[in-house]
């Protein structure tokens, strides 16, 4: 356990509600909680406290041993984190029920301590209109086990509507695919890209790979069937860097905010270091922080194939540096399930993407155990920062008045991730057989214990994750 970057400071109990005599719906007692004390000064409080929950909200933090509650969790020895907000999942609903749907994806999220997800628009049909969003909401309502919001895809067909669509209550933001990945949702020309950026007012998410370069270089892998280790040669560093530079230039020109997803190269990170001007933030994935080329391709074959690719140690180290020194803003799983039969096709016919929503916290908790980042920094990347960036003001931290969404974790548990544990429809994980220190033992959604000791309990409690 690494508490080194967590500065001891005044107790969170000073925040304790004065109305603690009421019977709470739930008390989680005796857990070590990780809560912001003075986040601007980089200070987090890590201490033992009880948390009282009423009406789906955090009502009190402090010593609640004299208080009544309808139910209690004895959590001594465990650590209470705000539920993770996974800002990048592909739950494939509608269109690809053999890979995933909103119910199976949300069950996987629940098992892994993710209490809110932002779903990507490359479904069938793609999410491009208010009607498409309404359809997704109706598929999620009363059926999702965790909270949800949906990205709107930027397409040549909806450019003039995007400014309105990005403010739809169930939309977390606009997603721009600069390079093609799974599906054919792509913004196309530079002219279209500029029109989109000029219209948006909220942070927008970007898949930054340069499509002309991808098309031009596709022959490299067409001529080498079966050689998935060439994936990072086809989708090379320049492919990512060209697109990243282009979108950052546009964000700067129009004073907008680009949030660039799954950053995979040391060169992009160097570039971000000199462009810290409020117009760009970026996300990294647990895969890029855990798997390394060429070993991952030798071991996992096409199961390690994703876009942008897993690269060699130099890039891995640069991404870790950005995690540790505060440059990276969020961690998202890029949960992108495909069936094993699809993945077993000969590369490059095999689709890119791997599931990750369920393994995000266990894999990252193991990195905490191995002193690669502090627990407070993990909470910042998976809960606090996503909530701030996407203005989910009621989520992202353990504070009075916030939504009662938590991941209760045992930092000392030693577990092995296995395919049989995976709730996702695709039933596999690149981390099958991976041993971790740190495990999510319960997930609480809106004050309701929805997963405990690996068992899903009750009925789905997910609700729309709305800006407040």
Reply yes or no on whether 50 is catalytic. no
CB of 301 to ligand DOR, least distance (A): 15
Tokens, residue 341: 């039969």
Q: Would you say 357 and 335 are in contact if contact means Cβ atoms under 8 Å apart?
A: yes
Preceding peptide of 125 cis, ω within 30°: yes
Q: Give the pairing type, strands 24-38 and 79-82.
A: parallel
CB of 183 to ligand DOR, least distance (A): 6
86, 132, 334, 403: the active-site residue:
334
Residues that bind ligand DOR (CB under 6 A): 90, 122, 181-182, 207, 306-307, 334, 336, 352-353
Alpha carbon distances (Å) from 14 to 65, 163, 181, 200, 437:
17, 42, 49, 40, 32
CB-nearer residue toward ligand DOR: 430 or 447: 430
CB of 147 to ligand DOR, least distance (A): 21
CB of 334 to ligand DOR, least distance (A): 6
CB of 233 to ligand DOR, least distance (A): 16
CB-nearer residue toward ligand DOR: 122 or 158: 122
CB-nearer residue toward ligand DOR: 147 or 352: 352
Torsions phi, psi for 181 (to 5 deg): -130, -125
CB of 90 to ligand DOR, least distance (A): 4
Rounded to whole angstroms, the Cα distance separating 384 from 356 reads 20
CB atoms within 10 A of CB 6: 20
Rounded to whole angstroms, the Cα distance separating 291 from 371 reads 17
CB of 353 to ligand DOR, least distance (A): 3
C-alpha atoms less than 13 angstroms from C-alpha of 257 in its C-beta half-sphere: 12
CB-nearer residue toward ligand DOR: 31 or 230: 230
Sign for the CA dihedral angle at 105, 364, 291, 121 comes to: positive
Q: Give the pairing type, strands 43-54 and 24-38.
A: antiparallel
Q: What angle do CA 345, 351, 356 make, to 5 degrees?
A: 120
CB-nearer residue toward ligand DOR: 182 or 333: 182
Q: What are the residues whose beta carbons fall under 8 Å from the beta carbon of 332, sequence distance 6 or more?
A: 86, 87, 88, 89, 118, 261, 262, 283, 285, 386
CB-nearer residue toward ligand DOR: 60 or 260: 260
CB-nearer residue toward ligand DOR: 127 or 182: 182
Q: Would you say 106 and 150 are in contact if contact means Cβ atoms under 8 Å apart?
A: no
Smallest CA-to-CA distance from 197 within 166, 234, 237 is with 166
Residues assigned a catalytic role: 334
């Amino acid at each position: 356990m690494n508490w080194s970057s967590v500065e001891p400071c005044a107790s969170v109990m000073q925040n304790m509600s004065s109305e603690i005599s009421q019977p709470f719906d739930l008390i989680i007692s005796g857990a070590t909680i990780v809560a912001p004390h003075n986040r601007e000064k980089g200070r987090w409080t890590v201490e033992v406290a009880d948390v009282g929950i009423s009406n789906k909200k955090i009502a009190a933090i402090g010593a609640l041993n004299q208080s009544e509650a309808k139910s209690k969790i004895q959590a001594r020895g465990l650590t209470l984190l705000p539920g993770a907000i996974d800002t990048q999942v592909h739950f494939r609903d509608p269109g690809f029920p053999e890979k995933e749907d909103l119910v199976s994806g949300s069950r996987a999220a629940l098992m892994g301590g993710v209490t809110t997800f932002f779903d990507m628009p490359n479904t069938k049909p793609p999410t491009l209109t208010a009607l498409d969003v309404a359809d997704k909401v109706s598929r999620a309502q009363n059926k999702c086990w965790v909270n949800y919001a949906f990205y709107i895809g930027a397409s040549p067909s909806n450019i003039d509507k995007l400014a309105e669509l990005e403010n739809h209550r169930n939309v977390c933001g606009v997603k721009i695919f600069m390079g093609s990945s799974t599906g054919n949702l792509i913004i196309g020309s530079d002219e279209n890209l500029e029109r989109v950026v000029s219209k948006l007012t909220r942070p927008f998410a970007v898949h930054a790979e340069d499509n002309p370069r991808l098309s031009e270089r596709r022959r490299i892998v067409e001529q080498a069937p079966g050689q998935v280790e060439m994936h990072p040669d086809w989708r090379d560093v320049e492919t990512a860097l060209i697109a990243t530079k282009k979108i950052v230039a546009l964000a700067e020109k129009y004073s907008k905010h680009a949030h660039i997803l799954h950053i995979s190269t040391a060169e992009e990170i160097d570039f971000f270091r000199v462009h810290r001007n409020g117009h760009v933030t970026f996300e990294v994935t647990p895969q890029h922080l855990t798997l390394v080329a060429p070993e991952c391709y030798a071991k996992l074959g096409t199961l390690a194939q994703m876009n942008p690719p897993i690269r060699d140690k130099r890039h891995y180290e640069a991404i870790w540096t950005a995690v540790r020194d505060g440059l990276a803003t969020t961690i998202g799983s890029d949960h992108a399930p495909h069936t094993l039969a699809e993945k077993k096709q000969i590369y490059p016919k095999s689709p890119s993407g791997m599931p990750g929503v369920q393994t995000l916290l266990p894999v990252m908790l193991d990195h905490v155990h191995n002193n690669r980042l502090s627990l407070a920094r993990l909470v910042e990347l998976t809960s606090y920062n996503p909530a701030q960036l996407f203005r989910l003001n009621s989520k992202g931290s353990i504070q009075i008045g916030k939504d009662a969404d938590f991941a209760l974790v045992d930092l000392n548990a030693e577990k092995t991730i296995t395919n049989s544990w995976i709730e996702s429809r695709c039933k596999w994980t690149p981390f099958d057989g991976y041993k971790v220190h740190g495990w999510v033992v319960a997930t609480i959604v809106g004050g309701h214990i929805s997963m405990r000791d690996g068992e899903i309990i009750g009925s789905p409690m997910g609700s729309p994750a709305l800006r407040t």
